[in-house]
Chains A and B, each alone.
Chain A
Amino acid sequence: MKLLVIGLDCAAPELLFGDERLVNVRRLMAGGCHGRLESVIPPITIPAWQCMVTSQDPGSLGVYGFRNRADHSYSTLDIVNSKSFKAMTIWDHLALEGKKAVIIGVPPSFPPRKVNGICVGCFMTPSVDEEYTHPPAVKDEIRSLVGEYMVDVKGFRTDDKEWLRDQIFEMSRRQFTVVRHYLDNAKWDYFHFVNIALDRMHHGFWKYMDSRHPDYEPGGPYENAIADFYLHLDEEIGRILAMLDGDTAVLVVSDHGAKALQGGFCVNEWLVEQGLLVLKDYPAEVTPFGKLNVDWSRTKVWSEGGYYARVFFNVEGREPQGVIAPGEYEEFRDVMKAKFEATTGPDGALLGTLAFRPQEIYREVRNVAPDLIVHFGALDWRSVGGVGYGGVIHLRENDSGPDECNHAQFGAFVLAAPNVPELGKIEGARLLDIAPTLMEVGGYEIPETFQGRSLFGGSLAETGGAAGVSVEAEEVIRQRLSGLGYIS
């Protein structure tokens, strides 16, 4: 069976499942199973899509976010790209059986991956003037199809919402044109594309829609912008469904969900206040962490900002000027975890922050992992890395430009295939379960390296195409003819 994965970056289950106008999504829901999909920690585009397609957790992949420490020095973090991931993806496994794949915009896909088929770069592609496709000729084909292909909306953290909305819709339409072209014209057994436009819609327009957002105003000009975008996606999905033959499984899936962003928690400002991060001189204005004059000999903890916090300890013998004795490391980490989890909001109430030890949440911890991964207010709050807010810990604005939502731990999936029973809503599905589930649905053996489990637990394997006429076919005929009268 052919496998088609329709990736909707950031699709939120409550939006995807909650709008009955999404008739094509509903059809898939009715024809198979669907539910919330628990993402990895952190629930971030990088590494979440890779975790999905390799069925390995971030620790096993050794990638903990967009930016990772290359070593234990204090230098700034490296940005990952497609070469940062070595584990075999589902399409790599299928390629071993000679199966063809089309991969469009699955992060990270720059530089373009050498797949057995076609690969089109993701939003991390610096420019479509670069070689962003495999094979390279695909680039010209795409240009002749849609003109300038849009991998992302550059500068999507903007206040010019009218422009932003138009750009996002245009990016999405161009991508669907390309997707339809290759659905029809490429040879594929596995087709996977990721629509990043939805993520940009959420980040740009969430506050207009969600009354839980602090800046929500009812009846705003963009109140329906996100819902309209879901309708657009549904319509495009309908066009795709009409192109598929009966021997195709369809998975609509997101890497994480979305939620209203309450504000920013200035993690380094807070660490300075706690005396854990010591600066040689406190900056006169807001300064990114990388430009701060840190007194490493007296610093115990520092953090990277973003949607979540990557917290690092300055450990003796590990970091150049480490101060925490290795023997005290775990105890110190326990204390820090407790401190983070005790952080409060502007009103003094507990934020409900979650702090994770990588060794506890990952099967393996490769490369240089954070010492703690922190979700402020369970990601109601993002993590602000800069210092210079004058002791202010809670920000309303984002430090990197307007951004209206954070990621939520639960994404969504809808899976329909001829061999998938109508199970309705399924609870307990996790991101790492997707690849093994697809392998089972497609009739492939599940690789041992996959850490998730198939949602069907092998139950689909037994239904092989029996030779001759099945009892079921006869039953259908009997049903079709029943009541005719002329027969009995």
Chain B
Amino acid sequence: MTRPVKKVIVIGLDGLEPKIVEPMLDRGDLPNLAKLRAEGGYSRVGTTFPAQTPVAWSTFATGTNPGGHGIFDFIRRDPQTYLPDLALNRYEQTSAFLPPKAVNLRRGTTVWNLLNAAGIPAIVLRCPCTYPPDIGKGRMLSGMGVPDLRGGLGTSTFYTSAAGETAGESENIVELRPESSGTIRTQIIGPRNQKGSGPSANLTADIRLDVDRSKRQVVVHSSGQPRTLEVKEGQWSDWLRIKFKIGMLQSVSGMLRFYLVRLEPVIELYASPLNFDPVTPMFPISAPWEYAAELSRKVGTFYTTGMVEDHTGLSNGRFGEAAYLDQCDQVVREREAMMLYELDRITEGLFFCLFDTPDRIQHMFWRFREPAHPANAANENADVTYSHDGSADMSRVIEDHYRRCDTIVGKVIEKTDDRTLLVVLSDHGFNGFQRGVHLNSWLHEQGLLKLCDGVSPGEEAGEFLRKVDWSGTSAYALGLGSIYLNLRGRERDGLVAPEDARSVQTRITQGLRGLIDPERGDVAIRGVVARDEVYAGPYAAESPDLIVNFAEGYRVSWATALGGVPRGICEDNIKKWSGDHIIDPALVPGVLFMNRQFNSAGPRLLDLAPTILDALGVPKGPAMEGESLLS
């Protein structure tokens, strides 16, 4: 007889793919997960439309489809400007003279809201779309959505003594000019200066670099903590806490780590994005607000931005695979430490902790699983010195990381008792991303998107839909697989009359369904769903009009996400960001393990919130669409 549940522990392993997990389970590579499967159960778990991390975890948290929580995509758009923006949160400034306040765009009622209302505490670590943090009884550390000091998800800086280096994705380049003594004076690029432009566009903090070739290191002198920081070649440094003066009186502090890539023939030094210091964040990142500081006191300081893995450093070729994995390892150790700190002291209620890193590692290493991946030809200089177990085979990195996750699950199992419900799940699976589809270019080809006179698809069309002639445009794509109608009464220059919306939708749906990649001859798009087929609820009207379900190996192209209209319809994805999951959700379910038997007939992420509530004896919320899996 099972005893009633006193605590529910939920471990999120972002992006764990059933098609990798299942054979590993069978081979005995994941003994702890296998144990859960044997004692309780295992199933694939249905993800959301679309299969994106913030959407999926918000559905996990609220038990509603995205129409009930308002997160439909990483990116949303303002119909009045046609401009994209981050969809997870926004900053509201009620007065121009008071500091802006972060507002979470994930709405609805969460499982922890309901538990708190029933007097049950919850501890939520790093759940996406929990910024700003909101918890009544318990503790919360915000996850995806927390910005870096510059207000984005993460902008790094690459210092090089070579001239003429151009900035890659999400990075600043700073050219180093060594003085004859070998000393280098330079700056850390801080937050954007709200009102500055040109050279004063950024706040900066002066640093001095002393290059010591005999010790293979650079010593960073700054006004921060510590005053002198040793950065060894091929290693990540400790944290440097540094303050930036805002105006004359205020300062904002952040922290960063360096990675010294090389000293010869040129000096190359990578600086991570500036994270909020958990002790003095610019905006609250925990609830209670001092909780982040408490954690850093107990388990050491930690990365705080919403996406903590330095994937752009690897994408931009600033450092190799080994350095990236080192950094991921640090992230996982931090997360594990805070998880264990809490598991040791909780006695009741919900504990949730997300490990994002499996998602970030798979994005960057999927290419090694697919020899034909276009990224392999483009990135022949992959860092093959990496060796986890003496092997140099990069294709094993993902499995290795799954084993790491399994070890973490083992440590969690040790903290459970017979009154604990343990849930381990991923929010979606994973897949290769070999080819990108230019949705706007297809709309243009179909005459549904018009470019200004004399402008053809390609670079001249720019991004942000800049050269779109709205007077002749019926539909446009923005974000990660979203298509919007240029709807009269909603869009600024709306063209499509509401009564014609259905026929335009049908035309797009029929045109894209089964779209063949002209170069490869493969099906690139399996189908398109209209909003009312998949969304219902108070926020459904904010959703895209159409969601594109890509086939395996395909995804929306890089350019489309920000409103580009390139030439052609499909292109190779040659980036190291080579795996993805924003395809037909039916193709990328997640995994679900529990230490108790559950109804494994087609569970969905929707069912998890009711399950957690059921286990703790709290009725599910009125908006929750799923059912408890325990009954």
Contacts and interface: CB of A to CB of B under 8 A. Distances in A.
Give the size range of B's interface with the partner.
Answer: 35 or more
A378 interface: no
A125 B85 CA distance: 55
Contact of A487 (B248, B250, B558): B558
A424 interface: yes
A408 B168 CA distance: 56
Contacts of A482: 150, 152-155, 169-170
A479 B152 contact: yes
A246 interface: yes
Contact of A422 (B147, B154, B193, B562): B193
A243 B247 CA distance: 24
Contacts of A425: 248
Q: Is the interface of B mostly helix, strand, loop or mixed?
A: loop
B95 A483 contact: no
Contacts of A146: none
Interface stretch (B125-133, B134-142, B510-518, B574-582): B574-582
Interface string B359-398: 0100100000000000000000000000000000000000
A428 B150 CA distance: 34
B97 A483 contact: no
Nearest to B575: A488
Contact of B95 (A244, A417, A473): A244
Contact of A469 (B74, B83, B85, B98): B83
Interface residues of A, number: 42
A486 B247 contact: no
A469 B81 contact: yes
Contacts of B480: 486-487
B98 A241 contact: yes
B81 A483 contact: no
Interface in B216-230: none
Contacts of A469: 81, 83, 464, 466
Nearest to A425: B248
Interface stretch (A25-33, A86-94, A104-112, A361-369): A25-33
Interface in A435-488: 469, 472-474, 477, 479-488
Given A244-B95, A418-B96, A486-B480, A480 B151 contact: yes
Interface string A412-426: 000011101110110
A485 B249 CA distance: 35
B273 A242 contact: no
Nearest to B170: A482
B311 interface: yes
A281 interface: no
Most chain A CB inside 10 Å of its own CB: which residue of B86, B98, B99? B98
Most chain A CB inside 10 Å of its own CB: which residue of B150, B152, B155? B152
B194 interface: yes
Given A244-B95, A483-B312, A26 B83 contact: no
B410 interface: no
A37 interface: no
A24 B96 CA distance: 12
Nearest to B86: A480
A248 interface: yes
Contact of B153 (A420, A422, A483): A483
Interface in A26-52: 26-31, 34
B583 interface: no
A474 B83 contact: yes
A243 B558 contact: no
A481 B306 CA distance: 12
Ranked 9 nearest A-B pairs via Cβ: A483-B154, A483-B153, A30-B247, A482-B152, A482-B170, A424-B248, A487-B561, A246-B96, A241-B97
29 contacts: A27-B98, A28-B97, A29-B248, A29-B249, A30-B246, A30-B249, A31-B96, A31-B194, A250-B97, A417-B96, A422-B193, A422-B196, A424-B247, A479-B150, A481-B85, A482-B152, A482-B154, A482-B169, A483-B148, A483-B312, A484-B86, A484-B152, A484-B307, A485-B153, A485-B311, A485-B363, A486-B577, A487-B75, A487-B562
Interface of A: 20, 24, 26-31, 34, 238, 241-248, 250, 416-418, 420-422, 424-425, 469, 472-474, 477, 479-488
